[in-house]
C-alpha cells in the first residue's frame, strides 16, 4: 500500500508541543531552501545529491535544528514490543536497493512487525519491485511542512534513518511519531544529535556495511540482500525484444553527472562489436535520457538498438535486465538493480569509488581508473575537485569487451538458454 497522508494536529503533551513548534521552524527555515531551488532551477536538474548550494543550505540550516531537537528530548530505550518499523529511504534508486538489504533481517528479528518504507517522489518506483515492504508512505521531501505531516501521519515503534549526510532525514526522524530512532553519525556532518541510538558511517567500507550498522544497533547481525518481487522475473518480454541482447545504461544522474558517463563514441564502438557477434542492444534510462538515447541508437545503426529509456517502468526494466545476456552500466541505480539480480554485469566507474558504491553481484566486474590514476575519489557523492577532469574515457572498449568475454556465453544459442534461467534469481 502506498500513501501520502497528512494528520490533524491537536493539543498534546509539552514534548509534542515542542516538536510541533520545531516542525514549524523546520518548515519556515527550509522553505528558504525550496524558494532557492525554484529560483536557481535546481529542481529541474538530474537529481539533487551534491548540489553545492542546496548542500550548503542543508548544512547551515539543518545542523542547528538537529542540535536543538536533540536537546529538546531525552534519549529513549528500545521498545519491549515492536509491531512496526519505519525505514527512511529518501535516496536514489541505488541507495534504496542497498538499504533494502536489511528488510529480511528485520523480519527475522521482529516476526510479525510491519515494515513501512518512507520514500520520496524520486524513488517511488522501488515500490513496484521490492519485496518485503508492507506499506509505503511517499514523503515530499522538497516541501518541508508537507514532509513533516506525511511522516507524522504514520506512527511506528522504531524508525531507522538510512541517510548518510543530509540533515533532512535527521530532522524528520526527530519529529516523527515513533518510540525509538536510529541513524548514522558521520564525521563532519553533525546530524546525529537527536537519535536514540547511533551507527557509524565510515569511508573505508561499502555503503551496505554502513547501513547495516544502523540495524546492528537493534542487536541484529545483518547478512541479507535486497529481495525483488518474484513475479517480475517471469513476466514476458516486450514483443520487440528478442534474445539474446545486452542492456546498456549509459546515463548517470545527480551533481556533475556528465563526469560519470562514458563517452558516446565508446558506447557506439562497443555496440557495433556486440552486434557483429549477434547480440541486440537495449538502451535504458529515465525520461530525461530519452532524447540522448535515441541519438545514441541512431549513431549505433538503424534497427540495431532498442530504446527503452523513458518508456519502460522500473518494474519492466527489472524483467528486461533479468533476461539479458549481460549488462554494461555506469554507476547508477540500474547498475545496483542488475547486481541484485546477479546479472552478468560490467560496471564502469570513474570518479565514484567502487569500494564505497560498487556492485555487489557475484557476476559483477568493475572497470575504471583507480585513485592512482585520478579516479575513485567520490565518497558521499559531491567531493569533486575544483578542476575535475573527464576520466571515464580512460576505460577502453577493448577492456569492456575483455570483461564481457568472461561473462557472455560462448555461443548465442547458449546465451538464449541461460537468459531464461535468470528468472529464478531471488
Query: E strand or H helix at 42, and its extent?
Result: none
Q: What is the mean pLDDT of residues 59-82?
A: 93
Q: What is the mean pLDDT of residues 168-193?
A: 95
Q: Answer whether residue 422 shows pLDDT above 70.
A: no
pLDDT digits (tens, 9 = 90+) for 363-407: 999 999 999 999 999 999 889 998 899 999 999 999 999 999 999
Q: Which three cell numbers stand for residue 215?
A: 540495524
Q: Answer whether residue 421 shows pLDDT above 50.
A: no
Is the pTM value of this prediction over 0.75? yes
42-56, 146-160, 206-220: segment of lowest average pLDDT? 42-56
Does residue 377 sit in helix, strand or coil?
Answer: coil
pLDDT tier, 410 (very low <50, low <70, confident <90, very high otherwise): low
In contact, 148 and 27? CB cutoff 8 Å:
yes
Spatial neighbors of 60 by CB under 8 A, at least 6 apart, are none
Q: What is the mean pLDDT of residues 242-262?
A: 94
Q: Which three cell numbers stand for residue 214?
A: 544502523
- Alpha-carbon dihedral sign for residues 349, 354, 359, 363: positive
Residues composing the chain: 426
pLDDT tier, 47 (very low <50, low <70, confident <90, very high otherwise): low
The residue ranking higher by pLDDT, 19 or 171, is 171
In the chain the domains, ranked by start, together with CATH numbers, are 2-216 (3.40.50.2000), 230-424 (3.40.50.2000)
User: What proportion of the chain, given as a percentage, has pLDDT over 90?
Assistant: 72
> Residue 303: what pLDDT?
83
Q: How far apart, in whole angstroms, are the C-alpha atoms of residue 386 and residue 30?
A: 27
Q: What is the mean pLDDT of residues 215-241?
A: 93
> Residue 164: what pLDDT?
72
Q: How far apart, in whole angstroms, are the C-alpha atoms of residue 187 and residue 410?
A: 48
pLDDT tier, 264 (very low <50, low <70, confident <90, very high otherwise): very high
- Strands (E) in 97-187, as ranges, are 114-119, 135-138, 158-161, 181-185
pLDDT tier, 6 (very low <50, low <70, confident <90, very high otherwise): very low
What does the mean pLDDT of the chain come to?
Answer: 86
Q: Answer whether residue 32 shows pLDDT above 70.
A: no
Q: How far apart, in whole angstroms, are the C-alpha atoms of residue 346 and residue 337?
A: 13
pLDDT tier, 53 (very low <50, low <70, confident <90, very high otherwise): low
Spatial neighbors of 415 by CB under 8 A, at least 6 apart, are 243, 244, 279, 325, 408, 409
Q: Answer whether residue 250 shows pLDDT above 60.
A: yes
pLDDT digits (tens, 9 = 90+) for 110-161: 999 999 999 998 899 999 999 999 999 999 987 888 999 999 999 999 999 9
Query: E strand or H helix at 49, and its extent?
Result: none
> Residue 142: what pLDDT?
79
Count of CB atoms within 10 A of residue 256's CB?
16
- Of 175, 187, 163, 180, the C-alpha closest to 48 is 163
Q: How far apart, in whole angstroms, are the C-alpha atoms of residue 400 and residue 378?
A: 22
Q: Answer whether residue 30 shows pLDDT above 80.
A: no
Q: Cis omega before residue 193 (within 30°)?
A: no
Q: How far apart, in whole angstroms, are the C-alpha atoms of residue 357 and residue 122?
A: 19
Amino acid at each position: 500500500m502506498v500513501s501520502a497522508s497528512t494528520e490533524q494536529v491537536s493539543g498534546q503533551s509539552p514534548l509534542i508541543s515542542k516538536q510541533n513548534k520545531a516542525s514549524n521552524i523546520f518548515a519556515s527555515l527550509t522553505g528558504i531552501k525550496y524558494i532557492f531551488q525554484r529560483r536557481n532551477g535546481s529542481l529541474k536538474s538530474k537529481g539533487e545529491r551534491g548540489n553545492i548550494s542546496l548542500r550548503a543550505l542543508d548544512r547551515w540550516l539543518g545542523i542547528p535544528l538537529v542540535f536543538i531537537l536533540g536537546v529538546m528530548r531525552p534519549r529513549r530505550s528500545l521498545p519491549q514490543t515492536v509491531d512496526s518499523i519505519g525505514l527512511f529511504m529518501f535516496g536514489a534508486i541505488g541507495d534504496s536497493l542497498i538499504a533494502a538489504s536489511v528488510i529480511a533481517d528485520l523480519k527475522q528479528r521482529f516476526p510479525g512487525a510491519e515494515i513501512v518504507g518512507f520514500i520520496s517522489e524520486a524513488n517511488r518506483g522501488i515500490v513496484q519491485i521490492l519485496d518485503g515492504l508492507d506499506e509505503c508512505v511517499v514523503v515530499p521531501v522538497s516541501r518541508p511542512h508537507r514532509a513533516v505531516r506525511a511522516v507524522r501521519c504514520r506512527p511506528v515503534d522504531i524508525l531507522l534513518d538510512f541517510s548518510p549526510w543530509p540533515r533532512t532525514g535527521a530532522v524528520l526522524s526527530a519529529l516523527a511519531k515513533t518510540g525509538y530512532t536510529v541513524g548514522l553519525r558521520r564525521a563532519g556532518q553533525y546530524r546525529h544529535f537527536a537519535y536514540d541510538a547511533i551507527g557509524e558511517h565510515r569511508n573505508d567500507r561499502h555503503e551496505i556495511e554502513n547501513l547495516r550498522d544502523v540495524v546492528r544497533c537493534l542487536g541484529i547481525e545483518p547478512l541479507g540482500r535486497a529481495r525483488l518481487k518474484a513475479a517480475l522475473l517471469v513476466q514476458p518480454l516486450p514483443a520487440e525484444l528478442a534474445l539474446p541482447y545486452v542492456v546498456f545504461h549509459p546515463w548517470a544522474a545527480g551533481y556533475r553527472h556528465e563526469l560519470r558517463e562514458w563517452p558516446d563514441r565508446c558506447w557506439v564502438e562497443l555496440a557495433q562489436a556486440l552486434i557483429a557477434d549477434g547480440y541486440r542492444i537495449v538502451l535504458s534510462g529515465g525520461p530525461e535520457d530519452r532524447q540522448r538515447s535515441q541519438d545514441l541508437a541512431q549513431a549505433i545503426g538503424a534497427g540495431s538498438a532498442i530504446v527503452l529509456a523513458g518508456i519502460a517502468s522500473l518494474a519492466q526494466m527489472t524483467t528486461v535486465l533479468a533476461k539479458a545476456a549481460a549488462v554494461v552500466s555506469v554507476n547508477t541505480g540500474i547498475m545496483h538493480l542488475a547486481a541484485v539480480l546477479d546479472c552478468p554485469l560490467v560496471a564502469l566507474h570513474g570518479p565514484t569509488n567502487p569500494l564505497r558504491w560498487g556492485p555487489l553481484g557475484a557476476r559483477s566486474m568493475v572497470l575504471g581508473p583507480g585513485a592512482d590514476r585520478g579516479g575513485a575519489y567520490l565518497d558521499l557523492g559531491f567531493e569533486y575537485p575544483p578542476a575535475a577532469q573527464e576520466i571515464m574515457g580512460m576505460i577502453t572498449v577493448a577492456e569492456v569487451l575483455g570483461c564481457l568475454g568472461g561473462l557472455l556465453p560462448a555461443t548465442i544459442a547458449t546465451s538464449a538458454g541461460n537468459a531464461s534461467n535468470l528468472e529464478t534469481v531471488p
